[in-house]
Chains A and B, each alone.
Chain A
């Protein structure tokens, strides 16, 4: 079983729950040892386990306690699910096996099932199953189609089960969303969710696909949405195999950005993502070469759009976030929170100097390193600035990439792992400029190279800033004055060399 966090859909704690279940029932199964029937089952089970299908069917369960998924098992053409595994995350559960009788106790409710029979007793009341109950090595399997009737009796509350989609909602847990296209030029699709979401995002020509595996997202009024926009004409909602999917169609490449702590997703063209920033003098530039991410990684954005009117702007990346906390700087301070606060302050300082800024993470959301690199590469920014924080040492460390051995580039498509190679000079220039300004502000600074992703995946000047406290007091990392001093120096350093960076980006 895959168990997700209860309250926050961002957290994905993968637990091999099957193992726990099999251990728990091992004592009862032991009663059968010696019988040829069990040996046969063991041999057959071993054979089946070793030939597992990669396209396993799943059911997702959403509740106030936990969100998780379970494998669906097919027996004689009927879909089954393990009842103990299903109930385990929801409350206190125990089961006992006596010959063909399987008793399960959930909190104070007792139920009894008989192997091969379609009659069961739930809380002392008879219950008809649509297919026979199965007992496999002490593991009780119930037909999937009975869950909408069976679970309310056991749990004592309402459930909503979409069997075709493999999605089970226990209680009032649904996440709703609205979608609206803003009439800006070019338009943006703004999707607001009632709870934070963290879908996996992929793009294909004409489509941006968001898969919500962990969130109890439900369809809006209509599964098909149309918008009064030629750029983003429609979106659709689908559900299957325990996941919901929103597909946005577009006539131009689209990218998604998160805000409002993961409650808002804005779909736009890469240029629109920075359109909120003050307009800058136009500069003509060809598209930067595009690094190709590894096939296994799902890039969050499309390749960079060709822009003949590129403006100078900065991408600031608050490292970590969501279920990735980064370093524990103290008992109370997590690195992800300091980096976000500092990144916001950096944006403020950049924009105060007329340097439009795109914040890659503007909330407590999880972004993979590939997603960060893809977004930054697609944005067309002149420089990428990653923010880290540490409790060790003092002052500021500035890093440029230590790239791995170069792979093979194919035309404008750069090797993903060594994409930064052609931009190292620009990155060093940026680091030197920023270091000079930090020193002017009497801030201790050190410039280093480091094997720090995603610096090596970026096709533009890229630096990382690791901020340490000014002295021994770690809480100073949260000091507005300290953050402001560093952010101001960094912004000034970048601003001073913007002409060179712009030239390097061409």
Chain B
């Protein structure tokens, strides 16, 4: 005969286990919905308004395979990370425009930019960016250097850049240019100089 208090104890433990299981399932569902909503609404912080500043964008031109600097004025927030996001937003608006010198696939976005001290910038691209990107050594290199050099030229202190796709490390952007390693901005400068010369 099992003692009555033991039976009650087991029943109580089972009820607690079931309740916790249900609660965990409920919380997982809520968290999943929240993430989806956040991602769908705005991948990068909303555009800012206010006084504008002059910045230097490194814009890729497929016609002659070059990387050219372009000075524009855009409103920039005070925070470094937000500034980085705005810079890349401005760059992508050129690439996604009608007369794009270096077209990207539809729905290409920079999901986020993280500035991690000391000197590391992490650029997180969305899946459509990589999937819709044309495949080729030069065309991929132009994209990566354009993003990285634009950040490096306008945000002081960036010494390394890492590119992720959908928050994960990927072997290459579209089959060629390596995304597994960090880009050293000093080393990259040599390549950028060569690309600025064009064909």
Q: Point out the residues of chain B lying under 8 angstroms from A221, CB to CB.
A: none
5 closest A-B pairs (Cβ-Cβ)? A327-B135, A43-B21, A404-B181, A390-B136, A451-B178
Residue of B nearest to A397 (CB): B138
Inter-chain contact B138/A393, CB cutoff 8 Å? yes
Q: What's the Cα separation between A43 and B175 when bound, in Å?
A: 42
Inter-chain contact B191/A446, CB cutoff 8 Å? no
Inter-chain contact B137/A399, CB cutoff 8 Å? yes
Pick from A324, A327, A446, A448: contact of B136, CB under 8 Å: A327
Q: Point out the residues of chain B lying under 8 angstroms from A328, CB to CB.
A: 135
Q: List 7 A-B contacts (CB under 8 A).
A: A46-B24, A320-B175, A404-B183, A405-B160, A448-B194, A451-B181, A466-B138
Q: Point out the residues of chain A lying under 8 angstroms from B89, CB to CB.
A: none
Residue of B nearest to A454 (CB): B178
Taking CB atoms and an 8 Å cut-off, the chain B residues in 142-194 that contact chain A are: 144, 160, 171-172, 174-178, 180-184, 187-188, 190-191, 194
Residue of B nearest to A36 (CB): B18
| Given contacts A36-B18, A405-B184, A449-B190, A392 and B134 within 8 Å (CB-CB) | yes
Q: Point out the residues of chain B lying under 8 angstroms from A42, CB to CB.
A: 21, 25
What string of 1s and 0s marks CB contacts (under 8 Å) between B25-47 and chain A? 10000000000000000000000
Q: What's the Cα separation between A382 and B22 when bound, in Å?
A: 65
What string of 1s and 0s marks CB contacts (under 8 Å) between A360-393 and chain B? 0000000001000000000000000000101111
Q: What's the Cα separation between A402 and B22 when bound, in Å?
A: 53
Q: What's the Cα separation between A91 and B115 when bound, in Å?
A: 51
| Given contacts A43-B18, A388-B137, A451 and B144 within 8 Å (CB-CB) | yes
| Given contacts A39-B22, A42-B21, A405-B184, A335 and B178 within 8 Å (CB-CB) | no
Inter-chain contact A335/B135, CB cutoff 8 Å? yes
- Indicate if B49 sits at the interface (CB-CB under 8 A): no
Inter-chain contact B191/A326, CB cutoff 8 Å? no
Q: Point out the residues of chain B lying under 8 angstroms from A452, CB to CB.
A: 137, 176-178
- Indicate if A403 sits at the interface (CB-CB under 8 A): yes
Taking CB atoms and an 8 Å cut-off, the chain A residues in 250-264 that contact chain B are: none
Q: Smallest Cβ distance from A404 to chain B, in angstroms?
A: 4
- Indicate if A78 sits at the interface (CB-CB under 8 A): no
| Given contacts A39-B22, A320-B175, A328-B135, A446 and B199 within 8 Å (CB-CB) | yes
Q: Point out the residues of chain A lying under 8 angstroms from B178, CB to CB.
A: 451-453, 456
Q: What's the Cα separation between A40 and B160 when bound, in Å?
A: 50
Q: What's the Cα separation between A392 and B133 when bound, in Å?
A: 13
Interface of A: prevailing SS: mixed
Q: Smallest Cβ distance from B128 to chain A, in angstroms?
A: 17
Please count the residue pairs between chain A and chain B whose beta carbons lie under 8 angstroms apart in the complex: 100
Q: Smallest Cβ distance from A456 to chain B, in angstroms?
A: 8
Inter-chain contact B62/A392, CB cutoff 8 Å? yes
- Indicate if B17 sits at the interface (CB-CB under 8 A): yes
Pick from A324, A369, A397, A404: contact of B137, CB under 8 Å: A397
How many residues does chain B have at the interface if contact means C-beta atoms less than 8 Å apart? 37
What string of 1s and 0s marks CB contacts (under 8 Å) between B117-148 and chain A? 00000000000000000111111010010000
- Indicate if A346 sits at the interface (CB-CB under 8 A): no
Q: Which residues of A contact B (CB under 8 A)?
A: 36, 39-40, 42-43, 46, 320, 324, 326-328, 335, 369, 388, 390-393, 397, 399, 402-405, 417, 444, 446-453, 456, 464, 466
Inter-chain contact A388/B176, CB cutoff 8 Å? yes
Pick from A43, A369, A449, A453: contact of B17, CB under 8 Å: A43
- Indicate if B101 sits at the interface (CB-CB under 8 A): no
- Indicate if B195 sits at the interface (CB-CB under 8 A): yes
| Given contacts A390-B138, A451-B141, A451-B144, A324 and B175 within 8 Å (CB-CB) | yes
Q: Point out the residues of chain B lying under 8 angstroms from A402, CB to CB.
A: 187-188, 190-191
Q: Smallest Cβ distance from B167 to chain A, in angstroms?
A: 18
- Indicate if B65 sits at the interface (CB-CB under 8 A): yes
Q: What's the Cα separation between A413 and B30 when bound, in Å?
A: 51
Residue of A nearest to B174 (CB): A327
Residue of A nearest to B199 (CB): A446
Inter-chain contact B18/A466, CB cutoff 8 Å? no
Pick from B20, B160, B188, B191: contact of A448, CB under 8 Å: B191
Residue of A nearest to B184 (CB): A405
Q: Point out the residues of chain B lying under 8 angstroms from A320, CB to CB.
A: 175
Residue of B nearest to A407 (CB): B181
Q: What's the Cα separation between A444 and B188 when bound, in Å?
A: 24
Residue of B nearest to A418 (CB): B181
Residue of B nearest to A395 (CB): B199
Q: Point out the residues of chain B lying under 8 angstroms from A449, CB to CB.
A: 190-191, 194
Q: Point out the residues of chain B lying under 8 angstroms from A392, CB to CB.
A: 62, 65, 134, 136, 138-139
Inter-chain contact A390/B139, CB cutoff 8 Å? yes
Q: What's the Cα separation between A402 and B139 when bound, in Å?
A: 16
Q: What's the Cα separation between A36 and B187 when bound, in Å?
A: 63
Q: What's the Cα separation between A311 and B195 when bound, in Å?
A: 37
Q: Point out the residues of chain A lying under 8 angstroms from B139, CB to CB.
A: 390, 392
